[in-house]
Copies of this chain bind each other. A is one copy, B any other.
């Protein structure tokens, strides 16, 4: 029954789904293979190991995704329209929009968000390598649109940006902890982008801590209504 490896894709699809739903460590190969209706040993045959399967699941979507992010940055630069908002959207837009396609896309985005907080060193190494070109492309671009920001300060703020992005991507149940509307799960990705881009842009453009401390010192002698 050698059917052009329909088996391989079924494993990848099912693994992507279950990994996103339950996490990497909590999903066993037995769960994956029984859901996919393939033999248990097929995973080790096609991917060598569970670790190999995880890497394959990530690589399959991550490569075109990062290509799209870089493509958008290229276009911004070609048009000479590189704004901070545009940069943020080029970076976080593609993964969030991927969650629109209902099927595998949204599952993968959640999986990717969770990847940032999983506890497997091989994963971190894999993601670091898979995102290397992306980071090297975007970092200088951010420096260009925020020239007044010291290098270290910019990198800290980009960390904060990644924190927001991964949290949103994980589609965490914790969102409902503070949530007012119950239908926040079905919120459109474009809606989230519309809300998160101004937040991040303002944060990245915020006055430096030092400047702020000085300004506060000055105002401290006056009535305290600077909020």
A83 interface contact, C-beta 8 A: yes
Interface on A for B, CB 8 Å cutoff?
Answer: 22-23, 25-26, 80-85, 113-114, 116-119, 121, 124, 127-128, 131, 135, 139, 145, 151-153, 155-160, 162-164, 166-168, 170, 172-181, 192, 194-209, 212-213, 224, 226-227
Name A174's contact: one of B124, B170, B172, B212 (CB within 8 Å): B124
Q: Is the CB of A127 within 8 A of B158?
A: no
CA–CA, A151 to B179, complex, Å?
A: 10
Q: Which residue of B lies closest to A154 (CB)?
A: B180
Interface residues of chain A: helix, strand, loop or mixed (majority): helix
Q: A152 and B167: CB pair below 8 A?
A: no
**In the complex the two chains form, what is the Cα distance from A121 to B176 in whole Å?**
13
Q: Could you tell me the distance between the alpha carbons of A80 and B227 in the complex, rounded to whole angstroms?
A: 11
Bound-complex Cα distance A179 to B181 (A): 36
* A174 engages B209 (CB within 8 Å): no
* Alpha-carbon distance between A199 and B116 when the two chains are bound, in angstroms: 21
A136 to chain B, nearest CB (A): 10
Give 8 nearest A-B pairs by CB, closest first: A163-B167, A202-B206, A23-B119, A203-B203, A117-B117, A83-B227, A199-B203, A202-B202
CB-defined contacts of A118 to chain B, threshold 8 Å: 23
| Across-interface contacts of A178 in B (CB, < 8 A) | 135, 139, 155, 158-159, 162
Shortest A84–chain B CB gap in Å is: 5
B131 and A177 contacting across the interface, CB-CB below 8 Å? yes
In the complex, the answer to whether B117 meets A156 with C-beta atoms within 8 Å is no
Complex interface: chain B residues within 8 A of A152 (CB): 180-181
Contact assessment for A199 and B166 in the assembled complex, using a CB-CB cutoff below 8 Å: no
